[in-house]
Amino acid sequence: MTAMQWFSNENLARRLAKRLVQVIITLFGLLVLTFIIGRVMPIDPVLAIVGPDADHSTYQQVYLQLGFDKPLWTQFIIYLSTLLHGDLGNALLTGKPVLDDIVRVFPATVELATMAIIVGAGLGIPLGVLAAARRNSPLDYVVRVISLAGYSTPIFWVGMIGLLIFYAWLGWVGGSGRVDLAFDGLVERRTGLLLVDSLLAGNKQVFFSALNYLVLPAALLGFHSLAYISRMTRSFMLAQLSQEFIITARVKGLTEWQVIWGHAFRNILVQLLTVVALAYGSLLEGAVLIETVFAWPGFGSYLTGSLLLGDMNAVMGCVLVVGIIFVSLNLLSDMLYQIFDPRTKV
């Protein structure tokens, strides 16, 4: 290893270590904020446990067991101590540990969000590139209208219209739920991803049933992320196509395809990594409304039910998971920037 390589690697390690410290501080701040919000919200967790018909002595006993008589900072220290041991408390909705519940429901949301980001990025990136390459053309205007529609149309309304048209009227897709009731529970849970588990079990009927129920909510979520991804791709490409090296490439006689995809697009790949990563994170935590509309048994539905019940253990656990996802994706994006973008290595 040369001295320059050693210096570059050391510099990269220093930056990543600094970023990791920032991540820890951010997560701690999120934890403090979430805990305080959980304690000051106008929801009585004790009442949610004992019920409205409990007598005062029962209420007081649970109140003391939960440690609500202690100062707020003491409660936070206790909560932090249990959290460091992997204990998020028990959920009122299921009576099970919150961590077990999240592990159970999260794969359904991952499956939905992954299919959605495949649709969003798979269509949004090419559309954004072509819109920039054909600026002010009919294609460009169509892409811009699609982006505007995706941003401004409420996702729950799109979900209900999608169910009405494609399920109720046309019968092309499955309705509410994750799989047909006739196939529910037929496949052994291994990964929690129903498409993967059905393929591992060799059950084609469950696979196609799950795919039939997945395609509509994933397509609608994908349309929502497509709007953001195509818009950002178009902006990045327009900035690149105005650079002098693009003019030089055209003067050299390169084809338009080579100029656009071989030069301009290659220069925005690192930026797109961040855009797609953040869009994916948004899908993981922002699928609440679409999961509610489609009765999808995922993370969003679990969070909604916990909020309505006033189950602060579950709510705080979900918020913490969402924060970890976003911070981790940001850290991953920064690492990719450091590795693939030569401008960050100087």
CA distance linking residue 148 with residue 142, whole number of Å: 10
3-state secondary structure of 90: strand
Q: Say yes or no to pLDDT of 274 above 60.
A: yes
66: confidence class by pLDDT, cuts 50, 70, 90: confident
Alpha-helical segments (H) within 94-203: 98-133, 138-152, 155-162, 194-201
Q: Quick check: is 16 in a domain?
A: no
Domain membership flag for residue 142 = yes
Q: What is the pLDDT of residue 120?
A: 92
- Compute the average pLDDT of residues 218-237: 90
pLDDT tops 60 at residue 52 = yes
> Do 115 and 311 touch, CB atoms closer than 8 A?
no
Residue pLDDT, tens place only, 14-34: 776 777 787 788 878 888 887
Q: Is it the case that residue 338 has pLDDT exceeding 80?
A: no
pLDDT band at 342 (very low <50, low <70, confident <90, very high): low
Domain count, the chain: 1
Q: What pLDDT digit, counting tens, does each position of 286-308 carry?
A: 677 888 889 888 888 888 888 77
Domain membership flag for residue 205: yes
Q: What percent of the chain has pLDDT over 70?
A: 91
Q: What is the pTM of this model?
A: 0.82
Question: What domain range is 285 assigned to?
Answer: 98-306
Q: Which of 82-91, 167-176, 193-202, 273-282 has the lowest mean pLDDT?
A: 82-91
In a domain, 150, yes or no: yes
**pLDDT computed for residue 5 by the predictor:** 47
Residue 174: inside a domain, yes or no?
Answer: yes
274 located within any domain: yes
For residue 277, pLDDT beyond 60 = yes
Residue 279, pLDDT > 50, answer: yes
Judged against a pLDDT cut of 60, whether residue 55 lies above it is answered with yes
Map residue 97 onto helix, strand or coil.
strand
- Which domain CATH number covers 211? 1.10.3720.10
For residue 345, tell me if it sits in a domain.
no
Give the pLDDT band (50/70/90) at residue 9. Answer: low
The answer to whether position 87 is within a domain reads no
Q: Is 207 exposed, middle or buried (0-12, 13-18, 19+ CB in 10 A)?
A: buried
